[in-house]
Structure 1
Amino acid sequence: MKELFQLGLLLISILTGCSHDKENNNGNLASEANKGNTSTPSQSETSSDVPPQDQSFEKGVYVDFSKNMDQSIPDGIVQKLKENLDALVNKDANKFKEELLEEHDTPGNMSYVNDTNQYRFLEISYSKYDAKAKSVMISLSVQILRNDIIEDNTITYYFKPDKTQVWKIALID
């Protein structure tokens, strides 16, 4: 069963692995920010819990990390996720790479921080800890400003322990 689960995760990763690159060529869907919220990003543009009220796009992390988070996820992973999201939003490639598994600074993972898109992370849509497979999967709802069009999308983070059993990001998809 463990191998079937891992195979399933691998197949999902492979099938969706090019979705980030394909998004640049697919038709874009415009969307608008949630109305009724009045918060704006903090100085670092990544610590508020709700998106801005108006329709103008403001990059940032507006995620309530206590909602939809699997409570069995090992300590420290949420903080690593927050730091990586902050680095992605602020296009800080060095900080972004800090939490990646060794040799996982691949073009696919690095494209998020190296592209010209802007990101507004809204919420955790799914999270799961698999103790047997020693893996964590966290999916986030995100709006991406690409070519002056706001797209609704999902980005999923996969965490695995490194050689020293420290949790690191293995894949961002």
Structure 2
Amino acid sequence: MYITGWRLGAVSAQDVVVGIIAEAFVDFVRRLCECERLREAHSRDLELAKVADEVTRAVSEGREGEFGPVVVKVQKKFLGRREVRASLYGREVDVDTLLAELSKARSRAAWLNSDCSEGALIEALYKYEDRYLIEVAQRNFDKFKKLCSGEVPQVDFGEAPGHVVEGVVRGVKTYLSGHGAGN
């Protein structure tokens, strides 16, 4: 006997829910790993954005200093004038180029910090309306990053029910078997 395409007894409700949790988890980890790759690819922008305000202030005040990947030098000129020179990652650049790079870095960092924040990534799980899955993701967020390099994390499930535990375990296996790092 078939009901809407399902044969009675072939798939239990528990199996369906576990499958949904596993798929949700795999989607979550894919996005998490994509964000980790983006953070790595834009690590210079993130580093530069951290010092952007200090560098901008130093340039406007004509103050020398080393700010992470940026070095600001001031040369005194005739009649009290000064010339500000800068180097970015060891390469000499003019001030306008430096300020443009700072602006780009701030923009990229803001985008990454927004779209790839823990809250934004976990929010994608809200549509599954399983608070236990969300709690497991929050509690183990940093541990799940290990999946991106192919490692199996030690997950703290807390008081999560069996369907969440089984779904996450199945999701980990699915991700690592065919959708892991590099795929």
TM bucket normalised to smaller = under 0.3
* CA radius of gyration, larger in: 2
Length-normalised TM-score, structure 2? 0.24
Length-normalised TM-score, structure 1? 0.25
Give 1 or 2: higher strand fraction.
Answer: 1
Give 1 or 2: higher helix fraction.
Answer: 2
